[in-house]
């Protein structure tokens, strides 16, 4: 019975993966992730009252910083936005458009956070795939997926003189690690990559949205009052 259930899960996953994760759809998610991360970086820079140049710099670092660090670490040249300048153009356009729009329209924070969860999910899986395709071990691939998903946000917060989001608020990096680990486990079980992407991405998105809407977070270390 267990084998039948496992086989059914693999078939369902393969069907979902082949239907959803077509090359054009994957490319759309890639561009979507860059745009969403660029918007998030733009909003942070605007809060700090940066000028348009500063906004664009912060937006590009947020959107492309993780992938750049990953490619440099893996010695994968040229880096992704040099190989395909469409990523660079997307980040700049998203930053400029957001810079203009927020002067007239209040952008719903929740909407950005939902889109950010989708972008995070895809970036993590894309980072893992890049590392595995280059022949690296699963633990290295997992770290590269995490780097792709969160390093840009860390650089953004450091540039904006903020404590990085992933260190002091609701679950973010943990969601990325959980989905990345599931993806690698499903690959090890024999599931094809396009099928393993679906449950792995859903895991990241669900955990991240639970953090956003319900305040799910890891326990913080607090000194007892007796130390004061």
CA–CA distance, 89 with 63 (Å, rounded to integer): 11
Is position 220 within any domain? no
Domain that holds residue 78: 20-215
| Tens digits of residue pLDDT in 88-99 | 999 999 999 999
pLDDT of 127 higher than 70? yes
3-state helix, strand, coil in the chain (%, to 5): 80, 0, 20
- Based on the structure, what is the number of domains in the chain? 1
Mean pLDDT, residues 160-172 taken together: 82
∠ CA(167), CA(44), CA(106), 5° rounding?
A: 125
- Predicted pLDDT at 221: 62
**pLDDT score, position 113:** 84
Mean pLDDT for 118-132 is: 92
Q: Are 117 and 216 in contact (CB under 8 A)?
A: no
Q: Is 186 contained in some domain?
A: yes
Structural domain includes residue 111: yes
Is the model's pLDDT at 212 over the cut of 90?
no
For the stretch 81-122, pLDDT in tens is 999 999 999 999 999 999 999 989 887 878 778 888 888 999
What is the chain's Cα-based Rg? 18
pLDDT at 223: 57
- In this predicted model, which residue has the larger pLDDT, 111 or 12? 111
Does 184 score more than 60 pLDDT? Answer: yes
- Residue 8 in domain: no
Judge whether 15 lies within some domain: no
Is 2 among the domain residues? no
Tell me what pLDDT residue 47 has: 87
pLDDT at 224 over 70: no
| Overall average pLDDT of the 197-201 stretch | 93
- Specify whether the CB–CB gap between 128 and 108 falls below 8 A: no
* Tokens coding 45: 């820079």
The pLDDT of residue 2 is 42
Tens of pLDDT, residues 169-183: 678 999 999 999 999
Residue 102 and residue 99: Cα distance in Å, rounded? 6
Q: Return the pLDDT at 24.
A: 73
Flag whether 224 is in a domain: no
Dump pLDDT digits (tens) for 13-70.
554 444 555 667 677 778 888 998 999 899 889 989 999 999 999 999 999 999 999 9
């Amino acid at each position: 019975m267990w084998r039948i259930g496992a086989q059914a899960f693999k078939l369902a996953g393969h069907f979902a993966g082949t239907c959803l994760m077509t090359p054009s759809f994957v490319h759309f998610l890639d561009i979507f992730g860059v745009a969403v991360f660029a918007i998030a970086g733009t909003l942070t820079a605007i809060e700090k009252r940066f000028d348009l140049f500063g906004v664009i710099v912060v937006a590009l670092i947020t959107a492309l910083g993780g992938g750049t660090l990953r490619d440099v670490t893996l010695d994968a040249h040229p880096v992704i936005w040099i190989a395909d300048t469409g990523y660079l153009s997307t980040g700049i356009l998203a930053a400029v458009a957001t810079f203009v729009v927020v002067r007239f329209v209040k952008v719903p924070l929740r909407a950005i956070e939902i889109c950010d969860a989708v972008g995070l999910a895809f970036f993590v899986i894309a980072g893992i795939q890049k590392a595995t395709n280059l022949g690296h071990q699963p633990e290295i691939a997992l770290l590269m997926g995490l780097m792709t998903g969160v390093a840009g946000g860390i650089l953004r917060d450091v540039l904006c003189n903020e404590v990085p989001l992933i260190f002091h608020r609701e679950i973010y990096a943990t969601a990325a690690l959980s989905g990345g680990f599931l993806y690698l486990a499903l690959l090890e079980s024999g599931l094809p990559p396009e099928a393993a992407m679906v449950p792995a991405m859903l895991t990241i998105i669900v955990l991240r949205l639970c953090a956003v809407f319900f305040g799910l977070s890891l326990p913080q270390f607090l000194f007892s009052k007796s130390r004061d």
